[in-house]
Structure 1
């Protein structure tokens, strides 16, 4: 399916995504407006189409980034963001069904972070105590994401604060990120443990992820990624069909009791989630 949301400026691109109902919530729109795609796309940055960024990778089309953020939004917003969206709903705007433990700092994993664009957008939504980790299997792409983010004052502040971190690893295995040190107080820390956590019911929660975005097509729905979801948590992941050609977005939800629900969504075309080139 083709989309026609291209613009001549970042503002026009985002406005067209909004008019096409590809962005439907005010906070999502605000986050996209704060991140100039020209810092992340090598050419024609405001076209609603994917673009190569080297090393066999691409930056996805803006409408796919919008779909990913809208899908994950209930698991991205901190408590104050939830209140802003409720206020927007009272004024007639669309509001997501926000879930999660109120007050718990958000942790988000962006697998296949590539240019770093979506990593930055996600960071604009998780709040001052949230953490977004961009994971790449190619060191040069990890470095590219960091360089692109450092082009803007806002991006440099996110990197310096530790709220955004780029790492190298095999995205099929997820990622375990240590807590920040004393130089980054309060960033990504945990709220007071619940009674269930004190009993040891959720001993993996501190290192898990409220939301996982995968920006490349997996050969299968990897169990390790599902395991690393917090309860509750959500994953947005393209997965290859059994025919080896078709791909579909899968939405994976884990509820507060740890029960997992998987929903097959739209057909897509992504580069594969695979080994780093030799």
Structure 2
């Protein structure tokens, strides 16, 4: 079993959905979690995690952590020798995500409230991996600055799933990996 499939088995989606959505956890579609946001389609999450290539011990930033599911999946992939910081804009989703994440007993992962006019979580940068679960209109340079060298970031940009790979010298190479739909990436005012 590959690492992503193992993470999906260990961290069931159902525990990260509102009660009224839990019966639909097995459906391969985005499900509402409130405030105009969704728990992403499992196939999309798996595609993103495979592109990200998270390994044990990595330090990972999860932008748009929502219900906490991706943060928990990333924590499973990094293992206790790693660290995962989820960042969420909506305060009630921060509380929801924190409760859900706590239930997985992975203390090396946490969810933070996004700070005004800050994208990501620069305090703990640089990150080996950055996952962005909201669609940017252009490649977010502020997140590239938080990416380690070497490092990988997966981010939807104007409908295209982009992989940004930073090599040890700091040069960034971009590649696109298909069309996807996400809620818009926003900053906290």
TM-score, normalised with respect to structure 2 = 0.91
Distance 2:126 2:187 in 1: 23
Which residue does 2:121 correspond to in 1?
175
* Structure 1 contact 172–225 (Cα < 8 Å) conserved: no
* Structure 1 contact 142–166 (Cα < 8 Å) conserved: yes
* Structure 1 contact 172–273 (Cα < 8 Å) conserved: no
SS in 1 for 2:128: strand
Distance 1:48 1:266 in 2: 17
Which residue does 2:32 correspond to in 1?
52
Which residue does 2:9 correspond to in 1?
33
> 1:217-263, CA deviations, whole angstroms, 9 ceiling, x for partnerless residues?
012111111111101100000112xxxxxx11111000111111011
Larger radius of gyration: 1
Which residue does 1:233 correspond to in 2?
151
Over aligned residues, Cα RMSD in angstroms? Answer: 1.7
Note the residue ranges of structure 2 that are not aligned, 5 or more in a row: none
* Structure 2 contact 71–85 (Cα < 8 Å) conserved: yes
Cα distance, 1:172 vs. partner?
Answer: 6.2
Runs of 4+ with >3 A deviation: none
Which residue does 1:65 correspond to in 2?
45
Find 1:254's aligned residue among 162, 166, 180. Answer: 166
Cα distance, 1:30 vs. partner?
Answer: 1.1
Find 2:61's aligned residue among 77, 101, 109. Answer: 109
* Structure 1 contact 39–149 (Cα < 8 Å) conserved: no
* Structure 2 contact 71–101 (Cα < 8 Å) conserved: no
Aligned residues: 184
Higher relative contact order (CA 8 A, sep 6+): 2
Distance 1:165 1:177 in 2: 14
SS in 2 for 1:142: helix
Structure with more strand by fraction: 2
Which residue does 1:140 correspond to in 2?
92
* Structure 2 contact 63–88 (Cα < 8 Å) conserved: yes
